[in-house]
Amino acid sequence: MALAAAEVALAKSITPIAKFGGKATEASISRPLLHIRASIDSATVTPPARGKGKKEIKETLLTPRFYTTDFDEMEQLFNKEINKNLNQSEFEALLNEFKTDYNQTHFVRNSEFKEAAEKIQGPLRQIFVEFLERSCTAEFSGFLLYKELGRRLKKTNPVVAEIFSLMSRDEARHAGFLNKGLADFNLALDLGFLTKARKYTFFKPKFIFYATYLSEKIGYWRYITIYRHLKENPEYQLYPIFKYFENWCQDENRHGDFFSALMKAQPQFLNDWKAKLWSRFFCLSVYVTMYLNDCQRTAFYEGIGLNTKKNSTCMSSSRPIEQRQEFSQLSLMSRTQSSRGNLTGCWV
């Protein structure tokens, strides 16, 4: 998720136990690893060698974080009696899309994964490990937040709550798939340990909406850009996970459409001058953070045949994003031109 982009100005960290409060919460945060195991495909994973499991990640400003929010405010925002702007028919249509679960059988591994990982050696091997590690953490972060929102909104707005729960299903599936990729390199993230040990960063609901909408929509463009590039240049297809990106990116797109509907139901977060300034701030900070991430990982993108600094998907994707009603005021990005062939990905 892209929320780390604005954290330096807005966020504070809290401990996992303070995150939701109460004994019920402590019980709930012990379940994510089990949920992920149930959500991913049934392919066998070779356990990492003894001592090779990775339990924590060094945190910096650009590191994927775990997030929480004001769940009481969320309940008010999605209360049908309080908020008359909620378009329940639109949410019900989106719910039917999520229930279809287009990617239910998509994330199935084969023997190519382990064979490809064994061929990646030297500095590029460590670069691939870092890519999988960061991506897995980011997806798992989304799972935790969406799962809790689904639980907390169940009574207030069952339709919205179920969508959040189904999005957490998608994020769990992605995280599990990426973690199995780490196992190909004889490593694995202990997601259960991370759930309990890492600090959670607090963001107000409107900032969750801004940043997550951007993150999901940019996620769509980064996946499809890499997929198209490698389809045209198969000699750079070093690891088969990229072959899954065409369908994978549609999960990101559906998540973004849902957050678009959420923001349209909260006009106070879009229409006044403060909201417009905040949305500009988030758009700029998310793009800048992603671009900095790209520049830090030039070796990875060069390894798959992409040029980091010539063009970046976080810039090329700004054009379709800003044309959406939710961020139409972000005209400062409208002159950015997209080009194919030398685009980098934006992994947060």
The candidate with the shortest Cα–Cα distance to 167, out of 179, 175, 177, is 175
Digit-coded pLDDT (tens) for 174-229: 999 999 999 999 999 998 888 888 888 899 999 999 889 988 988 898 899 899 99
Q: Are 209 and 286 in contact (CB under 8 A)?
A: no
Give the residue with greater pLDDT, 314 vs 27: 314
pLDDT tens digits for 219-269?
Answer: 898 899 899 999 999 999 999 999 999 999 999 999 999 999 999 999 988
Count of all residues that appear for the chain in the document: 348
Q: Tokens standing for 116? A: 């490809």
* Paired residues of 63 in beta bridges: none
Once rounded to an integer, what is the mean pLDDT over residues 325-342?
36
DSSP H or E segment with residue 309: none
pTM exceeds 0.75 for this model: yes
Percentage, residues of the chain above pLDDT 90:
49
Q: Would you say 191 and 251 are in contact if contact means Cβ atoms under 8 Å apart?
A: no
pLDDT at residue 99, rounded to an integer: 98
How many Å apart are CA 84 and CA 100, to the nearest integer? 28
Query: What residue spans define the domains of the chain?
Result: 3-344
pLDDT at 328 over 60: no
Give the mean pLDDT of the chain. 77
323 or 210, greater pLDDT: 210
How do beta strands 200-202 and 66-68 pair? parallel
Q: Is 344 in a helix, a strand, or coil?
A: strand
Strands in the chain per DSSP E: 12-14, 66-68, 200-202, 311-312, 343-344
Backbone angles phi, psi at 200, to 5 degrees: -105, 140
Query: Are the CB atoms for 284 and 332 separated by under 8 Å?
Result: yes
Q: Which amino acid is at 342?
A: N
Of 75, 219, 255, nearest in space to 150 by CA: 75
Cβ-based neighbours of 82, under 8 Å, separated by 6 or more: 76
pLDDT tens for 1-53 read: 445 444 433 444 443 333 443 333 333 333 333 333 333 333 333 344 444 55
